[in-house]
Amino acid sequence: MEKTKKRQIEYHAIIKRIYRHPETGPQAFTEIYTLLSDILALPKKDRRYEMKTSKICFLERLSVQKGSEYTYVSGYFESAVYEFRPKLINTVTATTRDNPKEKLEGEVEKTHFCLRICDKIYTKEVILVLEKNANGVNVKQFLNYLTSFNKRFAAEKERKIDYYLQNHMLVRDDIEEAIRGMSRARVAELYIDKRLLGSQALDFSNRFAEAKQSMILTVKAEKNASIKDAAMDFLRLLQGTRSEVVKMKLWGIDDDNQNVLIDTAYFGKKTEIVCDLNPDTGEISSAPILLALKELAERL
């Protein structure tokens, strides 16, 4: 039996958008830890969520580590497919026998994750580092799970939720290729060195000495338009040897109509890890992979 197994890793920005107010733009869903904590406080049966026909999932574990800059939230979901009970076959003798499990039972699949949360006055960001498990919980199901319980808790408190949740996958491929692959680029954020304020270009005073290291210039496309060509110019500006632009974020959608966030700070990050397997069950051992996911989150 193999002792290790490779797992693909995905990175997503978790945001919320205000209903009927697109001009407000995406906002980090920094309430995610409180929501997950409230869910975990429920009895296990009440944490159950029907993902699709004959498949359920629930949050099983959660831990938090708070630092001066970021809060790291690690945990995993358990999921199972039921109403499938084929006969079992012995791989040595080729004999078969009836499956002893009940139709309402299913094999446990775990999906591990780590969240990096920044909830400062000037910096708000939620990044999800997610184990990719085809038989487990994907990012859309993760958000559907959160949305379901968020609405439930709001109804219990007789209040309404004025936003919906989205994920933006953080692209890991070649930056130029990623921009060209966008069907539409909506918003670009350029992070510019604050020293530009005191240069001949702007000639501001040194009163900005206490300001953050970089300023943010936001460029938005007109309705139904795209700033993809402009983004390519921004990228070339960023890659210049003496450029005051230190980072770029580009929000848009790809050819599959999926939300994409291109953040030049995240390119080249690790997208595959080797996981230890439980020698008795063949499952991925939770403690080592949760540690590995947290280390990836810390390196972002």
Domain ranges of the chain: 1-172+268-300, 173-265
- pLDDT tens per residue, range 239-262: 876 677 888 999 898 887 888 888
Q: What is the pLDDT of residue 11?
A: 92
Global pTM reads: 0.81
Please say if the pLDDT value at position 201 is more than 70. no
Rounded Cα distance, 269 and 300, in Å: 8
What's residue 15's pLDDT? 93
| Least confidently predicted of 52-66, 80-94, 142-156, 171-185 | 171-185
Res 18 pLDDT > 60: yes
Q: Which residue has the tokens 């995406």?
A: 26
C-alpha 60 chain-centroid distance: 19
Task: Judge whether residue 185 has pLDDT over 60.
Answer: yes
CA–CA gap between residue 109 and residue 119 (Å, rounded): 32
Q: With cut-offs at 50, 70 and 90, classify the pLDDT of residue 23.
A: low
Task: Note the pLDDT of residue 128.
Answer: 97
Q: Which pairs with CB-CB distance under 8 Å and at least 24 residues apart come from 33-41? A: 33/64, 33/71, 33/73, 33/115, 33/117, 35/146, 35/149, 35/150, 35/153, 36/62, 36/73, 36/75, 36/146, 37/62, 38/149, 38/153, 39/149
Say what the pLDDT of residue 70 is: 95
Class of residue 119 by CB neighbours under 10 A (exposed 0-12, middle 13-18, buried 19+): middle
- Average of per-residue pLDDT values in the chain: 87
Summarised one tens digit per residue, pLDDT across range 121-132 is: 878 999 999 999
- Hey, which bits of 27-144 come out as E strands? 27-28, 49-52, 55-66, 71-81, 88-89, 96-97, 109-119, 124-132
Q: With b meaning 16 or more CB within 10 Å and e meaning fewer, what string describes 2-14?
A: eeeeebebbbbbb
Task: Render pLDDT for 90-101 as a digit per residue (tens, 0 to 9).
Answer: 889 999 998 888
Are the beta carbons of 84 and 102 closer than 8 angstroms?
Answer: no
- For a pLDDT cut of 70, what percent of the chain falls above it? 90
178 has a pLDDT exceeding 50: yes
Looking at residue 22, its pLDDT comes to: 65
Phi and psi for 142 in degrees, rounded to 5?
Answer: -60, -50
Residue 202 pLDDT > 50, yes or no?
no
Q: What is the pLDDT of residues 57-109, one digit of tens each?
A: 999 999 999 988 999 999 999 999 887 888 889 889 999 998 888 888 888 99
CA R_g for the chain: 23
274-282 contacts, C-beta under 8 A, 24 or more apart: 274/4, 274/5, 274/6, 274/7, 275/4, 275/5, 275/6, 275/7, 276/3, 276/4, 277/1, 277/2, 277/3, 277/4, 277/5, 279/1, 279/3, 282/1
What number is the average pLDDT over the span 201-211?
Answer: 49
